[in-house]
Amino acid sequence: MQKFSHDTIVVLDFGAQYSQLIARRVREMNVYSQIVPYTTSVEELEQMQPKGIIFSGGPASVGTPNSPRPDEGIYSLGIPILGICYGLQVMSVQNGGSVQRPDKREYGFADLEVLDGDSLLLKGVSKRSKLWMSHGDSVSSLPPGFRHTGRTTNCEFTVLENDAKRFYGVQFHPEVVHTSEGKAFLSNFVLGICNAKPDWNMGSFVATAIEDIRKKVGDRQVLCGLSGGVDSAVAAVLIHQAIGDQLVCVFVNNGLLRKGEAEKVLQVFRDNYKIRLQYADAQDDFLSALAGVTEPEAKRKIIGKVFIDTFYKAARSAGEISFLAQGTLYPDVIESKSPSGGPSATIKSHHNVGGLPEDLKWDLLEPLRELFKDEVRELGRELGLPEDMVNRHPFPGPGLGVRCVGEVTKKRLDTLRDVDAIFIEEIRSAGLYDDIWQALACLLPVKSVGVQGDERTYEEVCSLRAVTSEDAMTADWYRFPPDVLQRAASRICNEVSGVNRVLYDITSKPPGTIEWE
């Protein structure tokens, strides 16, 4: 592992669901943070030269055999350590304290009682503040050299400190929003005790990333597939800043894009940024391959296959290419390394380009590997991408193909595009777009009778869906104010031909998926 050019806080991951959140909280203080597995060797940690180390929580119990433990040499590095929950317990046990399992698990809110006003970790924290607890075990005797500076009704050793060694620990979770003054604890550690310089921001990231890309690429060429999504857009613009015309982008119009999307991509990347762009208009190829197919998996396979054929054909005509750029993000990187395997990286794997054909020997260039999604959006803004491109909802690789339920035809796609555009427009004008994880419209292969003017109609049904979610693994339906749905429904029936009925989907995930397919 390398030494980073910014002051860094390392999060040692014991398999906690909150490890990524801890890293994000640190970065919100403009300090770079990096998650590494608890098995990382002391030598590697030494090379990274972090300003501080945070032990994450974790699902294990320190008392059980084979519970995850860091190399004990970590306590001799002279680097400040903050243990959170399991992290506190493992630090206590390894330093001569003990941990017990009380009769009851403690889960939920607790009140902190500050015992020592001079504590470095508790500086500026109110005498009584709300904490979020979630633990079975707790520390039952202090390790030598430690004192406790905070307690709650059910947990005597809630905050531990050893100022001489600069080891600290908290039984609660400062990284979650439920801990009312969580940021204060973390910044006391990161900025106060570790004295980390808060100089990590997107401006400094751009400068370093450009240098790295130039060094890696030299005078060779990079290929980047544009999807219209934020990750590939940001990756392309960043790489373009670094190497200009050595970047070639490929944009496949599969005919399954939203209204005006293809034009927008061409306008932004070709006209505005002046990026070399191979535009593959393959709408007819997709449509003819999809003709008559209604089974969801079969549609997906066809879309995937035609995409790959089109993409590689365009790539082959782009000249000598050495690198394929991908918008891989930090959560994908961590999930593949996490001790618990992480919640899975299914979203990304849906639309990766797949294995490279034999004759294309490209290396990967992944300039966003260190960033969380919200940082990518910030970076996009920093690079001047339009706000509606930076801040958009996720959109699936197979596009409207998974929203045009039944057969995919040009006419049905056009209808769906109009419905979708009205729905999104109404959400935006109600100011609700950013409250929603994803909003979408589907066209159903079901006809029903309606009446428009004096005429009876017999047209298809569309369904609208909007969900809130953290990571798309689970989702809840979004509670719209009724008038927003009403406006969208009435505009859809009035303005879009081919649809005379609008449904709103109130299925959560599970049991439903987000897309209909």
State in angstroms the smallest separation of the CB of 185 from ligand XMP: 34
Q: Which stretch binds ligand XMP (CB under 6 A): 87-95, 274-282, 378-386, 508-516?
A: 508-516
Applying CB under 6 A, does 308 fall inside the site for ligand XMP?
A: no
Question: Whole-number minimum distance, CB 28 to ligand XMP, in Å?
Answer: 25
Residue 133 or 290 with smaller CB distance to ligand XMP: 290
Cβ proximity to ligand XMP: between 254 and 500 the closer is 254
Query: Is there binding between residue 276 and ligand XMP (CB under 6 A)?
Result: no
Does 343 bind ligand XMP (CB under 6 A)? Our answer is: no
Q: Which is nearer to ligand XMP, 294 or 349 (CB)?
A: 349
Q: Which is nearer to ligand XMP, 255 or 397 (CB)?
A: 397
Closest contact distance (angstroms) between CB of 303 and ligand XMP is 8
- Choose which of 71, 106, 425, 515 interacts with ligand XMP (CB under 6 A): 515
- Cα gap 164→162, rounded to integer Å: 6
Stretch that binds ligand XMP, among 267-275, 286-294, 347-355, 366-374 (CB under 6 A): 347-355
Residues 377-396 that bind ligand XMP (CB under 6 A): 394, 396
Residue 347 in contact with ligand XMP, rule: CB under 6 A = yes
By the rule CB under 6 A, 438 interacts with ligand XMP: yes
Q: Which is nearer to ligand XMP, 242 or 514 (CB)?
A: 514
CB of 254 to ligand XMP, least distance (A): 12
Residue type, 285: D
Whole-number Å distance between alpha carbons of 14 and 335: 13
Minimum CB distance to ligand XMP, residue 300 (Å): 7
Pick the catalytic residue: 85, 224, 249, 493?
85
Q: Closer to ligand XMP by CB, 181 or 515: give it.
A: 515
Single out the residue of 163, 169, 165 nearest to residue 138, CA to CA.
169
Catalytic position from the list 6, 135, 175, 194:
175
352 lines the binding site for ligand XMP (CB under 6 A): no
Rg (CA), the chain: 26
Q: Should residue 509 be labelled a site residue for ligand XMP when binding is judged by CB under 6 A?
A: yes
> 511: cis peptide before it, omega within 30°?
yes
Q: Which of 135, 173, 240, 351 is catalytic?
A: 173
Q: Please give the size of the binding site for ligand XMP, defined by CB under 6 A.
A: 14
Residues 427, 492: Cα–Cα separation, whole Å: 13
Token duo for residue 144? 């030598």
Structure tokens at 407: 């057969």
- Least spacing, CB of residue 290 vs ligand XMP, in Å: 15
Written as one string, the DSSP assignment of 417-480 is: HHHHHHHHHHHHHTT-GGG-SEEEEEEEEEEEEEEETTEEEEEEEEEEEEEE-SSSSSBEE---
Least distance (Å) from ligand XMP to the CB of residue 376? 15
Q: 317: which residues sit within 8 A by CB, 6+ positions away?
A: 278
Site for ligand XMP in 321-340 (CB under 6 A): none
Of the candidates 197, 350, 447, 456, which one interacts with ligand XMP according to CB under 6 A? 350
By C-beta, is 450 or 512 nearer to ligand XMP? 512
Cβ atoms of 173 and 134 within 8 Å: the answer is yes
- Paired with 276 in beta bridges are 248
Q: Which residues are paired to 499 by β-bridges? A: 460
Nearer to ligand XMP, 197 or 350 (CB): 350
Mapping DSSP to helix (H, G, I), strand (E, B) and coil, where does residue 210 land?
A: helix
Tokens found for residue 158: 């809630």
Q: Is 353 in the site for ligand XMP (CB under 6 A)?
A: no
Q: CA 80, CA 270: separation in Å to the nearest integer? A: 49
Burial 459-468 (b: 16+ CB within 10 A, else e): bbbbbbbbbe
Amino acid at 479: R
Residue-level length of the chain: 517
Q: Does 472 bind ligand XMP (CB under 6 A)?
A: yes
173 among known catalytic residues: yes
CB of 228 to ligand XMP, least distance (A): 11
Reduce the DSSP state of residue 387 to 3 states and report it: helix
Contact between 344 and ligand XMP (CB under 6 A)?
A: no
Q: Which structure tokens are listed for 49?
A: 């030269």
Select 58 or 331, whichever has its Cβ closest to ligand XMP. 331
Determine the straight-line distance between the first and last CA of the chain, rounded to whole angstroms: 43
Active site residue 442: no
Element housing 288 (H / E)? helix 283-290
Distance CA 219, CA 322 (A): 10
Binding mask 394-433 for ligand XMP (x = CB under 6 A): x-xxx---x-------------------------------
- State yes or no: residue 513 binds ligand XMP (CB under 6 A): yes
Q: Are 414 and 421 in contact, with CB atoms under 8 Å apart? A: no
DSSP 145-201: T-EEEEE-SS-S-SEEEETTTTEEEESS-TTSTTSTTHHHHHHIIIIIIS-------
Please state the closest distance from residue 262 (CB atom) to ligand XMP, in A. Answer: 17
Q: Select 128 or 350, whichever has its Cβ closest to ligand XMP.
A: 350
What single string gives the DSSP state of each residue in 471-513? SSSSBEE----HHHHHHHHHHHHHH-TTEEEEEE----BTTS-
CB 96 → ligand XMP: shortest distance, Å? 48
User: What span, in angstroms and rounded, lies between the C-alpha atoms of 292 and 172?
Assistant: 57
Catalytic residues: 85, 173, 175
Residue numbers at the binding site for ligand XMP (CB under 6 A)? 347, 350-351, 394, 396-398, 402, 438, 472, 509, 513-515
